[in-house]
């Protein structure tokens, strides 16, 4: 548990730019807080909005110099790549369909990319981006932020070391209620682009939150999905994208699972829950109460593990900042992704390998996420028939 | 809320017999307690075991007269039907495959039947029993006991009166862990018959607990299942019947659902949970904490309703014996089925209709349960394809 | 775990009478259910109300023969003591001030007494009753029913065997909200006698629920109270007895504690909670969720023990009827007191000692409870000064 | 909800110094994160340790220029006060006994002070500091950080507007277990100074966490303490300061309360819980699950309010950064104190009044805290007698 890293002053903070995240946006502010919490980044440039004026106004709010505020991400990428103290990394916080073109501009200039999820709005784009990333010397970090929660790291570590034995079952769900009514018709911006196929891609709830659930289940379990069967719905009249998804899953090696994502389940705010059962025990975690992890060894009393408390593993402790009983939340988990990325970027600077234990979701996870959405949509269109997942994941 | 009913002394208690429930059994004892709690029954006869000696030994334990202890249920049915003060009702608490032949003997003699679930071990038997019951003047009561919990009645009433609007989603699950290992190989009796196709029928976890989950979801939601897609597994090596079931459901009218039943999920004792979401709100209930019901009206604070507490409905209050905050449990819920049955039997005695509000699961629910198991097994055998539920339910 | 005991038919059930518990009463019905659950008693006589007519009407409801329904408890005691098959035990379920005179009549005739709490309405009466009980050959059982919960027995056993080490702290509370307003002014019967010094004695909330909290803390901890300091209030205008009590406690041996009882704490139905901390661990239990017990060994993960689940002790299992995960509640806990009493009565019948492990609250606990109320009232009257508890407990 | 404030670039961030918080410290790191989260401060100077070398090493870690790293807080205060771009505010994160001398140096030079709690180690120091602060034009902010949680602000607002009616009861507790054994004897630094009267003052658990509980209860209820009765213990052998405190409280106007603080309650990490009951309803909050607030209006269903969710008040929303269901934690609550202080400092800069709604604990709360500890210690020394609180609070 190290709150601040030691380094020489000039390179102490990573120079960060941002695309998107202007005055009306939500997730941009989250990325900025996440980047500040451990003091590893300095925001120095941005194309915060699509016009120079708006972008400069946001820059002023954020303490970014006026001449580093751009109205165009291509211009930004070109100029920052040439500047002596240009950005080392860029955070992409635009709607989904822009992730690919924006990331490409920075990656091809060797600037590290920290990109919001899902990777892209289409599988074709995802595959292209994978190639661009592979060809680039820069890192690609996808903010599947829930993987940054300490108890999620602990769960992953416990499974990897065999605490619950061979996995049989993966039950994961992410339920919300904010789209129970046609909010997009009121002009609400967040609802607008999330329910618009042109900006979001083919998946609604599957893309917005189903990908988080799928990513989390994969990250913690270490299992590979082999087949799925999906039944998607748009319960709100007139909605073009799914607002509920029911998915059966078969994993390589024989484990089975269920995934439920919904944005029309009243009473659920951000109810992401993961339960994994193996031959010897089970683990249960809920995002809304993230400092707890239930561990249920077969035939023994149930244990409620707490973040940084008794029974904490190395991985769980490493990502904790404060003692158990003092809750850390969503922003700290998000910050862990940024801090892990910082460790990797610093290693790259000096030509070192990424330190042991440092991990973050990247292109592979991003491609799998878009493949998941695509496979769900196709399975559902075929009346809910089983599809092989591997074919969608191919690059 | 009436703890004891008023009636003339001679007919105050219903004369009850029992088939099964001898010294090694479990559920027989539960039925007996349930029949006693509200003092509406008197146990006066029984074929507790398959030999007269064992049956008489159990009878002695239970205060049943020696000459009313039988080694054979056919003999019992015949004799009790002829006795002046013979039994009015019989509780059937045998393994599944015996439900049909036993029930038939009593029904055809006009003796009311209170039968453990599932209805029968095969769909053919279920259909035959439906015909026998239809032809009989006697009542048939199936102890899907979870429908007897006050908060379940309250949830049903709240949905019926529109508190959550038109239903979109039904998420139900029943998870246990006691069959995570091959317990049946140790000679444990409960595990033995439940994993034996000859005694249980085609379904393992689906029949034992999946039917409860399906029944409860149907009872509370009032929805009719139209299609299902099931993926069943036997995770424990050598097990002949499923120990885990993943089921997608489509209901008439467009609602969708998921059902998960498992007996291999470590940390789950009897984790039956039901969540129903409509256009205007949601309801959540868990059997292990049955005195609570979450009600989540869209856009308003979440409400935790308590049994017989603020916000209690008439149906919830009617089935409560004691004030809120003093928990009632499984046995009280089970007793409610018995007490509702007693109200119906008393009404029949005097030629009156069953009183308003009195309800219990019967043949229709039993047939639907066996149809559910059969449909799940067939869907799974076909690789997890969708099957139409209606064809299985036909009489 | 034995649901029904084996015995010869004629003596199978204990012949029980009841004083109080007529048509308007509440706790009488609870006692009757509790006596039936394990089928160890048969209700055969009663002075259910103070007039013969009302008493006979209740008797008819309850299946008690008309000639065993009395309008006067003295007459009942006299006649039943002479009858060949007269009652062996009597349940006293009147308001507090009647406990002493009624109990005396039965005890002096050798009839076992099962009496509701608190023991009496005055300390003088309690001391007299203690002498009567001592002189009698009959048993005296006080229904501090919360001691009948299986997890309470388990907690007691765990402490006795040293699982949490030497006790340092006892935090106990019992909060309700039903007297937040002057309900007694509406004519509500339960509120009426509980707020009337003539019927309840000197304590309001302290007597009604504080005694439960104190008894439970003593029962589980095994500690002896040496001093207390109480600050009592009547928050509702015009109320004569306390409706809230704050008490500091010092135990022999150095442990300390707090007790809070309240009937004016909105949102609390029957929130009796006990937390005990020792040098090596802690235990936490809540009456509204009685099937759980938190065990927190120092420096290890928190364990959630479940009734009859993993980690169950012999005492916890012995008082359970059904498997873990199927909740037992208030009535089953109450029934355990009756069943333990039955075991003791049966032992007495045959001149045997009370079997190992059988236990129930008696005169000592009753005297301690009335002493507790009296000491609290006096401490509070003296401005909240410390009083020595031992002087109040003296016989 | 404004994540970043708009202002001219040069004055956008407040120039912050720090005293204490070097490499071995804990709370210093918390203050630094808290100051960064909303980007309102820039750490530019510090006397991080008591030697220049150690202080400079810490400065290098933290990106503070070498010539702004001091080994002596007096030197720091003097020089920074003279610098053109010297610090505007200083965070004091030393052990308790240093708060007074350090704060004095900065206050008298007009530098705003943000100081860890408790205010001082003695009541005499607290009174002196109060005078210094009064005489200074600078702000004094005490980091009773729990007042920064959004749901705490919401609870305060709900009480102030009468949602629960006139308050009758305040039940507050703060339990930990980390000092259950003599950790101070192992050389652990945090345990060392907290159990040392010379550094901590007269209170152990009362000073360290009891002051938090008392402050929180006062902040939310708005009540003034008039009398208290305390029973303090040092359960761990050889410990000089209390590790457990039981306190009865009487408030002006007639409300009553209990306060429990403990550092020897196994299973409790940072279990700060507040429950307040009024004539019309109740509120319950627990620090370990800070995004929830139970609201229990008398006679209505219990409501579980969530941070920034349905039923959120203006005060609760203003201090939230992200939507409900995405948990905020301890660091965000701490950051709210810093951000409120920043708003006040910015207002002072421009000669404006502190904006409506902005609030933070200050000298009055600090003095009350030290008075609380002193009164508890004296009451306990007198055998647990009642003392008048007002006399301790006098300046």
Burial class from Cβ neighbours inside 10 Å (0-12, 13-18, 19+) for residue D267 reads buried
String of DSSP letters for D174-196: EE--TTSS-GGGGT-HHHHHHT-
Q: Could you report the per-residue pLDDT of D106-149, keeping only the tens digit for each? A: 999 999 999 999 999 999 999 999 999 999 999 999 999 999 99
Task: Report yes or no: C363 and C369 within 8 Å, Cβ to Cβ.
Answer: no
Neighbors of chain C with 3 or more C-beta pairs under 8 Å: A, B, D
Instruction: Residue A20: name the closest of A47, A43, A38, A40 by CA.
Output: A47
Neighbors of chain A with 3 or more C-beta pairs under 8 Å: B, C, D
Other residues' Cβ atoms within 10 Å of the Cβ of residue C4: 17
Domains D9-145 and D150-321+365-381 share a fold: no
D100 beta partners: none
**3-class secondary structure, B94:** coil
CB contact under 8 Å between B302 and D299, yes or no, is no
Average pLDDT of the residues of chain B: 95
Q: What is the pLDDT of residue B265?
A: 98
> Which residue do the tokens 């018959």 mark?
B193
CA B120 to chain CA mean position, Å: 12
CB contact under 8 Å between A304 and C300, yes or no, is no
Other residues' Cβ atoms within 10 Å of the Cβ of residue C163: 17
Other residues' Cβ atoms within 10 Å of the Cβ of residue D10: 8
Task: Name B124's Cβ contacts closer than 8 Å, sequence gap at least 6.
Answer: none
- Tell me the torsion sign for CA atoms B354, B358, B362, B368: positive
Taking CA–CA distances from D169, the nearest residue in chain C reads C265
Q: Let me know the angle formed at the C-alpha of B103 by B100 and B105, rounded to the nearest 5 degrees.
A: 110
Q: Residues of C at the D interface (Cβ-Cβ below 8 Å)?
A: 164, 168-169, 171, 177, 180-181, 229, 231, 233, 235, 244, 246, 248, 250, 256-258, 260, 262, 264-268, 275, 277-282, 284, 294, 296-298, 302, 383-386
Q: What is the CA radius of gyration of chain D?
A: 21
**3-class secondary structure, B384:** coil
Alpha carbon of D104: minimum distance to chain C alpha carbons (Å): 40
Q: Residues of A at the C interface (Cβ-Cβ below 8 Å)?
A: 295, 299-306, 309-311
Average pLDDT of the residues of chain D: 95
Measured distance CA(D276)–CA(D155) in Å, rounded: 9
Omega before residue C375 within 30° of 0, cis: no
The third-level CATH classification (topology) of the domain covering D150-321+365-381 is: Dihydrodipicolinate Reductase; domain 2 (3.30.360)
C18 beta partners: C46, C91
Burial class from Cβ neighbours inside 10 Å (0-12, 13-18, 19+) for residue A309 reads buried
Instruction: Residue D26: name the closest of A4, B369, B154 by CA.
Output: A4
The residue of A266, A286, A302 whose CB has the most chain B CBs within 10 angstroms, and thus the best one to mutate to test that interface, is A266
Task: Name B184's Cβ contacts closer than 8 Å, sequence gap at least 6.
Answer: B191, B192, B194, B195, B196, B239
Residues of A in contact with C299 (CB under 8 A): 310
CB contact under 8 Å between A169 and B264, yes or no, is yes
Q: How many CA atoms lie within 13 A of C324 on its CB side?
A: 26
Measured distance CA(C55)–CA(C227) in Å, rounded: 44
Other residues' Cβ atoms within 10 Å of the Cβ of residue A177: 24
Buried b (16+ CB within 10 A) or exposed e, D106-133: bbebebbbbbbbbbbbbbebbbbbbebb
Measured distance CA(C305)–CA(C322) in Å, rounded: 16
Q: Residues of D at the A interface (Cβ-Cβ below 8 Å)?
A: 3-6, 8-9, 12-13, 29-30, 32-33, 36-39, 60-63, 65, 176, 268-271, 287-291, 306, 309, 321-332
CB contact under 8 Å between D30 and A322, yes or no, is yes
Task: Report yes or no: A183 and A176 within 8 Å, Cβ to Cβ.
Answer: no
- Interface confidence, given as ipTM, is 0.95
Alpha carbon of B343: minimum distance to chain A alpha carbons (Å): 37
Measured distance CA(C8)–CA(C19) in Å, rounded: 28
Instruction: Residue D261: name the closest of D197, D195, D220, D214 by CA.
Output: D214
Other residues' Cβ atoms within 10 Å of the Cβ of residue C280: 18
Residues of chain D above pLDDT 70, percent: 97
Alpha helices in A45-122 (DSSP H): 52-62, 73-82, 99-107
Q: Is the pLDDT of residue D354 over 50?
A: yes
Instruction: Residue C205: name the closest of C226, C161, C170, C235 by CA.
Output: C235
Distance set, CA D274 to CA B175, C172, C256, D99, D368 (Å): 35, 16, 21, 28, 18
Burial class from Cβ neighbours inside 10 Å (0-12, 13-18, 19+) for residue C326 reads buried
Q: CATH number for the C149-320+362-381 domain, one of 1.10.10.10, 3.30.360.10, 3.40.190.10, 1.10.1040.10?
A: 3.30.360.10
- Rounded to an integer, the average pLDDT of B214-218 is 98
Measured distance CA(C345)–CA(C112) in Å, rounded: 8
CB contact under 8 Å between A311 and C303, yes or no, is no
pLDDT in tens, chain C (395 residues): 334 444 444 468 999 999 999 987 789 999 999 999 999 999 999 999 989 999 999 999 999 999 999 999 999 999 999 999 999 999 999 999 999 999 999 999 999 999 999 999 999 999 999 999 999 999 999 999 999 999 999 999 999 999 999 999 999 999 999 999 999 999 998 899 999 999 999 999 999 999 999 999 999 999 999 999 999 999 999 999 999 999 999 999 999 999 999 999 999 999 999 999 999 999 999 999 999 999 999 999 999 999 999 999 999 999 999 999 999 999 999 999 999 999 999 999 999 999 999 999 999 999 999 999 999 999 999 999 999 999 999 98
Measured distance CA(D77)–CA(D67) in Å, rounded: 14
Q: Could you report the per-residue pLDDT of C227-249, keeping only the tens digit for each? A: 999 999 999 999 999 999 999 99
Q: Could you report the per-residue pLDDT of D160-197, keeping only the tens digit for each? A: 999 999 999 999 999 999 999 999 999 998 899 999 99
- Rounded to an integer, the average pLDDT of B360-365 is 97
Buried b (16+ CB within 10 A) or exposed e, B83-112: eeebbbbbbbbbbbbbbbbbbbbbbebebb
Q: What is the pLDDT of residue C24?
A: 74
Say if domain B150-320+365-381 classifies as CATH 3.30.365.10: no
Measured distance CA(D389)–CA(D167) in Å, rounded: 19
Burial class from Cβ neighbours inside 10 Å (0-12, 13-18, 19+) for residue D82 reads exposed
Q: What is the pLDDT of residue B7?
A: 44
Taking CA–CA distances from A385, the nearest residue in chain B reads B385
Q: What is the pLDDT of residue A395?
A: 84
Residues of D in contact with B305 (CB under 8 A): 301
C232 beta partners: C245
Q: Residues of A at the B interface (Cβ-Cβ below 8 Å)?
A: 164, 168-169, 171, 177, 180-181, 229, 231, 233, 235, 244, 246, 248, 250, 256-258, 260, 262, 264-268, 275, 277-282, 284, 294, 296-298, 302, 383-386
- Residue B105: which pLDDT band, with cuts at 50, 70 and 90? very high
**3-class secondary structure, C378:** helix
Q: What is the pLDDT of residue B50?
A: 87
Distance set, CA C155 to CA A87, A92, C316 (Å): 61, 55, 8
Q: Could you report the per-residue pLDDT of A10-44, keeping only the tens digit for each? A: 468 999 999 999 987 789 999 999 999 999 999 99
CB contact under 8 Å between B298 and A268, yes or no, is no
Measured distance CA(C159)–CA(D91) in Å, rounded: 46
pTM for the structure as a whole? 0.96
Measured distance CA(D148)–CA(D290) in Å, rounded: 11
For domain B9-145, the CATH architecture is: 3-Layer(aba) Sandwich (3.40)
Question: Residue ranges of chain A with pLDDT lower than 50?
Answer: 1-10
Task: Name C83's Cβ contacts closer than 8 Å, sequence gap at least 6.
Answer: none
Backbone angles phi, psi at D112, to 5 degrees: -60, 145
Other residues' Cβ atoms within 10 Å of the Cβ of residue C292: 18
């Amino acid at each position: 548990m190290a709150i601040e890293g030691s380094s020489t002053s000039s390179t102490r903070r990573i120079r960060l730019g941002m695309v998107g995240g202007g005055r009306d946006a939500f997730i941009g502010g989250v990325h900025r807080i996440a980047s500040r919490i451990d003091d590893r980044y300095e925001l120095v440039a941005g194309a915060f909005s699509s016009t120079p004026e708006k972008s400069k106004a946001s820059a002023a709010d954020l303490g970014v110099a006026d001449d580093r505020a751009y109205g165009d991400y291509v211009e930004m990428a070109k100029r920052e790549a040439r500047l002596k103290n240009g950005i080392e990394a860029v955070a992409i916080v635009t709607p989904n369909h822009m992730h690919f073109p924006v990331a490409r501009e920075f990656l091809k200039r060797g600037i590290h990319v920290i990109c919001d999820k899902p990777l892209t709005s289409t599988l074709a784009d995802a595959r292209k981006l994978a190639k661009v990333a592979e060809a680039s010397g820069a890192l690609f970090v996808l903010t599947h932020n829930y993987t940054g929660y300490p108890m999620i790291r602990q769960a992953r570590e416990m499974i990897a070391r065999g605490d619950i034995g061979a996995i049989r079952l993966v039950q994961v769900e992410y339920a919300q209620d904010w789209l129970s009514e046609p909010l997009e018709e009121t002009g609400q911006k967040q609802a607008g682009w999330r329910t618009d196929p042109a900006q979001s891609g083919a998946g609604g709830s599957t893309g917005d939150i189903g990908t988080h659930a799928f990513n989390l289940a994969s990250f913690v379990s270490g299992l590979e999905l082999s087949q799925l069967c999906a039944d998607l719905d748009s319960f709100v009249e007139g909605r073009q994208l799914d607002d509920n998804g029911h998915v059966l899953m078969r994993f390589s090696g024989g484990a089975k699972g269920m995934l439920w994502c919904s944005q029309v389940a009243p009473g659920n705010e951000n109810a992401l829950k993961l339960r994994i059962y193996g031959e010897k025990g089970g683990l249960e975690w809920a995002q809304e109460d993230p400092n707890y992890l239930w561990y249920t060894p077969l035939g023994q009393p149930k244990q409620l593990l707490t973040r940084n408390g008794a029974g904490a593993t190395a991985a769980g402790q490493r990502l904790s900042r404060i003692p158990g009983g003092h809750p850390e939340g969503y922003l700290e988990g998000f910050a862990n992704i940024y801090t892990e990325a910082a460790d990797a970027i610093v290693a790259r600077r000096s030509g070192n390998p990424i330190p042991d234990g440092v991990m973050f979701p990247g292109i592979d996870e991003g491609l799998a996420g878009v493949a998941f959405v695509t496979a769900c949509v196709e399975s559902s269109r075929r009346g809910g028939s089983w599809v092989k997942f591997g074919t969608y994941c191919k690059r």
